[in-house]
């Protein structure tokens, strides 16, 4: 059973890090649509970003998450079950003692069947409506409404969406949560709908999935708070699919038979695209909606607070094997001793804080939701290397950058760029604009909503058109020479797709050569690609990564150390990492500690 994948060396490195913290078409963008019942948000502090209703004639009901394919078509999840059939413990507070004791999906299923039995119908009228119309208020009423995935597109090339159809539905068991995450990747569509992660594939080109595969099962063992489901699907730089789960918790048996049991925590998860090699990447989080990584593969998120007096949301650096400190039962302490608050785990590093946690970088805005990083050519040059965040609770949108701060980071250039819409999921379109969904009025479900396009007129459009054309044309037919050019491109999406294609072709020699290039980001992607190949027992890739541990560029040392850590223990001589614990560079020292812990040196 895997419950706490934290080693002594790693614990020391987390303390080191915490201390360091304290030292569509190629046309120009369409004009904003006036055909909307909602006002366009007012810009705040910057006038660069315009809000355009991308679905002026379409209703996108209660959308949560959005992802775009390389043709500019949007995959959007709709929730119908939130608080209606995916119940909220705040409406059933007498269940709290039982709920915190649940340890599996099957226990949760049996709990519903017992508490919401037909015999208890009369006293359950306030818990669940009679959705199936049989005159009873029971657990079967939890199996009526289904979550959906829509496919939305602009079919006439005018820059606005005009077509919406159901891509998939049939998420409606008594233990089904909400469809809070969706990801299009290389023809596959992933969806997180607790307790499951699904992969869909359309093999005949009719825009409907013909294949459905269960990637992982066992998420959301508690009723807990509404919205603390699975979300944040994203393809990581290592070729693995990442996603997040709120503190409804984790009880997963991987495809290899390994047990991952975190009964009162949220976290960030990852697995190969087919679900193999599943693992809990980070834990002790409460409800990070959408994790995102920067140009160097550093992961960040904004975690929701627990509404305790004096508490705020947290901007967090998400590190392999980290524990952020949150436990589900802290939510219900109500005046009793609460370690979360009493020991200051909700605020940045300070004296007296537990040594086992990685504290937040800083406290931040209420109601964080959609969160992405600029891939390099998005919007305009002003917003290069920025993160973008939706603040759903107050209907505002924010942007900021990060800078290294010891072994960690600090937030800089933070500002609000929009206000007036309760926007949720966030993604990049192949045209270099941001696309986001709104609930048409806020948290209560009302069967209305829209997709908005956020863009900067006149910014980077020549570069963006180039990127869009390359994305739409694909990568499988390109020569190795062209792929090696693209792995050094300004836009991370092209770099990653070129990297993955080179890996698919087993182009070890090309990646070894590119790991010595003058372009630092090209070198980084070459290292990531070599890491993917090394995980497949490519000895030449492993040998080159070991050499790069002593590269003159500290960032390359960090990246080599990171990908080597993902090899099976014994895949290389882990003793080679030990001298890096004395590096003058704090990031090198920190990553060496993480890698040593992961390799159990």
Confidence of residue 3 (pLDDT cuts 50, 70, 90): very low
Q: What is the pLDDT of residue 335?
A: 82
pLDDT band at 11; cut points 50, 70, 90 = very low
Region 176-199 average pLDDT: 98
Q: With 60 as the cut, is the pLDDT of residue 324 above it? A: yes
pLDDT band, residue 440 (cuts 50/70/90): confident
pLDDT of residue 350: 95
The pLDDT value given to residue 595: 97
pTM for the model stands at 0.93
DSSP code of residue 32: P
* Domain 474-599 fold: 1.25.10
Q: How many helices (H) and strands (E) does the chain have?
A: 12, 26
Residue 20 has pLDDT above 50, yes or no: no
Predicted pLDDT at 138: 98
pLDDT in the model for residue 10: 37
Please give the pLDDT value at position 441: 66
Chain-centre distance of CA 338, in angstroms?
Answer: 28
Residues 331, 329: Cα–Cα separation, whole Å: 5
Q: What mean pLDDT comes out for the span 284-309?
A: 97
- DSSP letter string over 429-460? -TTS-EEEEE-SSSSS--S--EEEEEE-TTSS
Terminal Cα distance for the chain, rounded: 20
The fold of the 42-85+146-455 domain, in CATH, is Neuraminidase (2.120.10)
pLDDT band, very low/low/confident/very high, at 442 (cuts 50, 70, 90)? low
Confidence of residue 22 (pLDDT cuts 50, 70, 90): very low
pLDDT tens track for 554-593: 999 999 999 999 999 889 999 999 999 999 999 999 999 9
3-state secondary structure of 372: strand
Q: Residue 7 pLDDT > 80, yes or no?
A: no
Confidence band for 142, pLDDT divided at 50, 70 and 90:
very high
Q: Please choose, from the candidates 175, 84, 173, 177, the residue with its C-alpha nearest in 3D space to the C-alpha of residue 128.
A: 84
Whether the pLDDT of residue 268 is over 80: the answer is yes
> Could you report the per-residue pLDDT of 23-71, keeping only the tens digit for each?
333 333 333 333 333 455 544 445 489 999 999 999 999 999 999 999 9
Cis status of the peptide bond prior to 195, with omega within 30 of 0: yes
Q: What digits encode the pLDDT tens for the residues 388-436? A: 999 988 899 999 999 999 999 999 999 999 998 999 999 999 999 999 9
**Position 197 pLDDT exceeds 70:** yes
- Indicate if the pLDDT at residue 298 is higher than 50: yes
Q: Which residue has the higher pLDDT, 154 or 43?
A: 154
- Strands 259-262, 387-391: pairing kind: unpaired
pLDDT computed for residue 121 by the predictor: 98
pLDDT at 457 over 90: no
Lowest mean pLDDT among 172-186, 284-298, 456-470, 519-533: 456-470
The encoded tokens of residue 292 equal 């995102």
What percentage of residues in the chain have a pLDDT greater than 70?
91
**What pLDDT does residue 35 have?**
35
Nearest one of 146, 156, 211 to 176, comparing CA atoms: 146
Q: Which of 291, 288, 305, 274 is nearest to 190 (CA)?
A: 274
- Please check whether residue 67 is in contact with residue 451, taking contact to mean a CB–CB distance below 8 angstroms: no
DSSP string, 165-214: EEEEEEE-STT---EEEEEEETTEEEEEETTEEEEEE-SSSSSS-SEEEE
Intrachain domains 42-85+146-455 and 474-599 with the same fold: no
Residues 267-273, mean pLDDT to the nearest whole number = 99
What are the structural domain ranges in the chain? 42-85+146-455, 96-141, 474-599
Instruction: Give the C-alpha separation, 142 to 68, whole Å.
Output: 31
Rounded to an integer, what distance in angstroms lies between the CA atom of residue 88 and that of residue 94? 12
**Angle at the Cα of 312 from the Cα atoms of 385 and 292, rounded to 5 degrees:** 30
């Amino acid at each position: 059973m895997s419950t706490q994948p934290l080693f002594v060396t790693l614990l020391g490195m987390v303390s080191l890090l915490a201390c360091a913290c304290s030292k569509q078409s190629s046309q120009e963008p369409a004009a904003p649509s006036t055909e909307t019942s909602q006002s366009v948000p007012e810009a705040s502090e910057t006038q660069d970003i315009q809000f355009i209703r991308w679905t002026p004639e379409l209703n996108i009901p209660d959308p949560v998450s959005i992802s775009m394919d390389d043709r500019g078509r949007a995959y959007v999840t709709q929730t119908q079950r939130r608080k209606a059939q995916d119940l909220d413990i705040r409406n059933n507070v007498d269940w709290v003692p039982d709920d915190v004791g649940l340890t599996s999906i099957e226990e949760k299923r049996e709990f519903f069947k017992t508490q919401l039995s037909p015999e208890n119908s009369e006293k359950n009228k306030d818990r669940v409506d009679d959705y199936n119309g049989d005159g009873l208020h029971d657990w079967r009423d939890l199996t009526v409404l289904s979550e959906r995935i829509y496919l939305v597109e602009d079919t006439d090339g005018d820059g606005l969406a005009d077509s919406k159809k159901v891509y998939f539905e049939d998420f409606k068991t008594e233990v089904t949560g909400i469809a809070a995450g969706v990801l299009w990747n290389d023809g596959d569509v992933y969806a997180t709908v607790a307790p499951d992660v699904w992969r869909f594939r359309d093999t005949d080109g009719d825009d409907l999935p013909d294949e459905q595969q269960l990637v992982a099962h066992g998420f959301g063992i508690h009723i807990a708070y509404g919205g603390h489901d699975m979300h944040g699907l994203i393809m990581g730089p290592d070729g693995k699919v990442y996603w997040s789960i709120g503190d409804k918790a984790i009880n997963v048996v991987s495809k290899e038979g390994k047990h991952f049991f975190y009964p009162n925590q949220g976290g960030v998860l990852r697995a190969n695209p087919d679900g193999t090699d599943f693992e809990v990447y980070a834990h002790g989080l409460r409800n990070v909606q959408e994790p995102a990584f920067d140009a160097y593969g550093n992961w960040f998120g904004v975690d929701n607070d627990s509404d305790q007096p004096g508490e705020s949301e947290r901007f967090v650096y998400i590190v392999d094997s980290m524990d952020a400190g949150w436990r589900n039962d802290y939510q219900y302490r109500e005046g009793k001793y609460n370690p979360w608050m009493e020991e200051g785990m909700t605020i940045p590093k300070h004296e007296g804080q537990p040594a086992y946690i990685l504290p937040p970088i800083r406290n931040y805005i209420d109601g964080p939701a959609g969160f992405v990083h600029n891939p390099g050519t998005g919007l305009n040059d002003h917003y290069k290397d920025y993160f973008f965040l939706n603040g759903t609770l107050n209907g505002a949108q924010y942007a900021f950058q990060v800078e290294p701060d010891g072994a960690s980071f600090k937030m800089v250039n933070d500002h609000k760029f929009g206000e007036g819409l309760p926007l949720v999921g966030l993604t990049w379109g192949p045209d270099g604009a941001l696309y986001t969904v709104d609930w048409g009025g806020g948290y209560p479900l009302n069967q209305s909503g829209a997709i908005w396009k956020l863009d900067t007129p006149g910014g980077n459009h020549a570069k963006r058109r180039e990127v869009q054309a390359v994305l739409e044309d694909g990568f499988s037919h390109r020569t190795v020479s062209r792929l090696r050019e693209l792995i050094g491109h300004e836009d991370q999406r092209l770099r990653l797709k070129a990297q993955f294609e080179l890996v698919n072709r087993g182009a070890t020699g090309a990646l070894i050569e590119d790991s010595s290039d003058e372009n630092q980001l090209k070198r980084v992607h070459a290292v990531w690609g070599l890491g993917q190949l090394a995980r497949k027992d490519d000895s030449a890739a492993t040998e080159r990564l070991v050499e790069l541990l002593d590269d003159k560029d500290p960032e390359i040392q960090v990246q080599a150390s990171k990908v080597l850590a993902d090899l099976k223990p014994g895949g290389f001589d882990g003793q080679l990492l030990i001298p890096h614990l004395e590096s003058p560079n704090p990031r090198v020292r920190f990553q060496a500690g993480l890698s040593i812990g992961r390799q159990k040196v």
